[in-house]
Structure 1
Amino acid sequence: MPPLAEEREHTSNEHDRASRHVLLTRIAGLLSVPLLPAVEAAQAADRAVFLVPGDTIEVTPGHGLGALSPSRILGGILPAMFVGTKAIAHGLVDPAAACPPEWSHWMAEETSDCVLRGYTAFTRNDAFRAGRLLLTHGPARLKDVCGKAGLSQAVVRNEAELAAALALEDPDSLARCGLVLEQDLVDVITYSVGSAQLRGERISYWGQQNLTKD
């Protein structure tokens, strides 16, 4: 088994860093391999290491990361960053709305009957139109699809609050990752489900999330 390396962090989230340190230490011990200093994903593709990235890796044509096969990475490789987020759970506000070339209209149609009322938008204008439709049913929640642990979310109750929240969105990030707008819920129970594979072994899980004070 090759030595273990983590992808170099690009976040200032202390909780994420602490959690990753524990995870990396345990994986290195489980595999009985040394833990190397952090590297860029592109460097890991050219080295004999097992990579634990901080997030799903986006691989565009000609990127050169295809050498990171499932046997050499604990994580996933996607053609566009939004594909690995909650953005794919909702459809666009209308068929003419802006979206990346990798967007699947079929996916949104297939999930429409098992998700909350909501939309995914890739521009401020489309997000505003989607938000106005949602506000006719009550408060709406805006979710940064790259946010974690309930962070980077906002609840809006009228068009003025919607416009103010959207003014804070970066257009470039919005075009690349998207923004989810959903009906707002209170007193919710959130369940998690997932699966991970390491050295030929797979573990799957499901459970109920709990809220804590920040």
Structure 2
Amino acid sequence: MNASSDDHDLVVLVHSGGKKAAGGGHEIDTQRALAGQLAALIGAPFRGAFDAARPCPHRYIVPDDTLSAGDAQRMGITGEDDLFGGVVPHPFVATKVIAHGLPPNARAKPAGWSDELGERVRHLVLPGYSAFSREDAHAAAALLWRDGAVRLKRPSGIGGSGQAVIADESELDAQLDDIGDDLLRTEGIVLERDLRDIATFSVGRIRLRSQEASYYGVQHLTRNNHGHSVYGGSDLVVVRGGFDALERIDMPEHARTSIRLAREFDAAIRDAFPGFLASRRNYDVACGADDEGRHRCGVLEQSWRLGGASGAEIGALRAFANDPALEVVHASTVEAYGADTDVPADACIYYRGVDPHGGPITKFYTVDTVDTTRNAAFPKQRSE
């Protein structure tokens, strides 16, 4: 795909300043590899890392994390066409805490907090609260313990990290001691109903300048080189166009429910924070049973940055760009650990190496066309 005449000097750059950058290794290499593929799709050269001192009037930024409004302004980002990711007016908006309101009579909240948002999304998420003080955390946990187990989540944890099921006040205090009062005050925590037999679905929309696609799908888990259960990839049904186009295809009812919850959550965020923008929107929707056997579904969190499913997203965009008649594809990402990983012949590998901390890792995506005369079946949850 060629750049337009207005974009003859456009360049694609990465910005690595988020929490992932501290880990280094495969995260940075993955970011650069996917940025290179995005550059090819928009017909612009990939020029490496963003440097504010480098003269460059037209930039397309691929950050490793959601950007603050201040950072976006310094990079010259004014809209969705300027980045693959998102921009938020306050740091907490990019984290898990916006999925819930505060407990009744809460004593602490950050500047810019929207009490109205918590009320609006209450029916879209699992029962829970966000808290920014010990007193509020204890009040929230006490309310939730009445109906079953409670999961504590740190706001910026990735792939299930930074979470624990807490059974009583002593376990809660131990978690809060580990977090510390200063971090609790600035970042907060989430206390949420814990579910059993959980399935995590993904709903997303991506826009790469003139190209747009949306999807539903499932995540699956794997074992890393240390034996821990971690994110292992995503299986997606991707359509050309936005959420309206996605909802026009045939799909199982639980897929349609996940899309409805994600779209309503997305609209609530846009209304609550006018400074918010995102060209990459991904929402995790969890379904499972609580301690009393009740089936529950709700949005767990959002991702407005390069993520685990982005390889599949980019692969789908590339398939659509190569075939203007193509409307629906199945796209999958796989993150495999260990030295002996079998990779399909038609896969695109975007990382293969030995991470200093994680050991041998291979990441790849595959894309298959879909027979649109048949149901674009919802991918099945994979076991480890």
**Counterpart in the other structure of 2:206:** 196
Distance 2:217 2:175 in 1: 32
Whether the 8 Å contact between 2:13 and 2:48 is mirrored in structure 1 is yes
Secondary structure in structure 2 of the residue aligned to 1:209: strand
Distance 1:152 1:44 in 2: 37
**Counterpart in the other structure of 1:17:** 28
Q: Which letter does structure 1 place at the counterpart of 2:35?
A: L
Deviation at 1:66, TM superposition (A): 7.8
Q: Cα deviation per residue 1:119-147 (whole Å; 9 max; x = unaligned)?
A: 00112332122123222322211111211
Number of residue pairs matched by the alignment: 212
**Counterpart in the other structure of 1:67:** 76
Structure 2 portions without partners, runs of 5+: 1-6, 225-384
Structure 1 portions without partners, runs of 5+: none
Deviation at 1:101, TM superposition (A): 2.2
Q: Which moved more, 1:31-40 or 1:43-52?
A: 43-52
Is 1:165 aligned to 2:175, yes or no?
A: yes
Distance 1:165 1:86 in 2: 17
Secondary structure in structure 2 of the residue aligned to 1:212: strand
Runs of 4 or more above 4 Å deviation: 42-47
Is 1:34 aligned to 2:45, yes or no?
A: yes
**Counterpart in the other structure of 1:120:** 130
104 and 196 in structure 1: CA distance in 2 versus 1, 3 angstrom threshold: same
Distance 1:95 1:17 in 2: 42
29 and 64 in structure 1: CA distance in 2 versus 1, 3 angstrom threshold: closer
**Counterpart in the other structure of 2:94:** 84
Distance 1:192 1:94 in 2: 31
Q: Which letter does structure 1 place at the counterpart of 2:11?
A: P
**C-alpha RMSD of the superposition:** 2.5
Of structures 1 and 2, the one with the larger relative CO (CA 8 A, separation 6+) is 2
Whether the 8 Å contact between 1:118 and 1:134 is mirrored in structure 2 is yes
Q: Which letter does structure 2 place at the counterpart of 1:153?
A: Q
78 and 44 in structure 1: CA distance in 2 versus 1, 3 angstrom threshold: farther
**Counterpart in the other structure of 1:110:** 120
Secondary structure in structure 1 of the residue aligned to 2:125: coil
What is the percentage of aligned positions where both structures have the same residue? 36
**Counterpart in the other structure of 2:220:** 210
Deviation at 1:98, TM superposition (A): 0.8
149 and 63 in structure 1: CA distance in 2 versus 1, 3 angstrom threshold: closer
Distance 1:198 1:169 in 2: 38
Distance 2:76 2:40 in 1: 25
Whether the 8 Å contact between 1:90 and 1:108 is mirrored in structure 2 is yes
Task: Describe how 1:149-188 pairs up with structure 2 within 5 A.
Answer: 149-188=159-198
Secondary structure in structure 2 of the residue aligned to 1:168: helix
Is 1:136 aligned to 2:146, yes or no?
A: yes
Deviation at 1:68, TM superposition (A): 0.8
171 and 58 in structure 1: CA distance in 2 versus 1, 3 angstrom threshold: farther
Deviation at 1:190, TM superposition (A): 0.8
Q: Which letter does structure 2 place at the counterpart of 1:113?
A: H
Which structure: greater strand fraction? 2
Q: Which letter does structure 2 place at the counterpart of 1:65?
A: R
Deviation at 1:178, TM superposition (A): 2.2
Deviation at 1:108, TM superposition (A): 0.7
| Structure-1-length-normalised TM-score | 0.87
Distance 1:123 1:5 in 2: 39
Whether the 8 Å contact between 1:118 and 1:180 is mirrored in structure 2 is yes
Secondary structure in structure 2 of the residue aligned to 1:195: strand
Q: Which letter does structure 2 place at the counterpart of 1:159?
A: E
Whether the 8 Å contact between 1:117 and 1:182 is mirrored in structure 2 is yes
**Counterpart in the other structure of 2:258:** none
Deviation at 1:32, TM superposition (A): 2.7
Whether the 8 Å contact between 1:191 and 1:208 is mirrored in structure 2 is yes
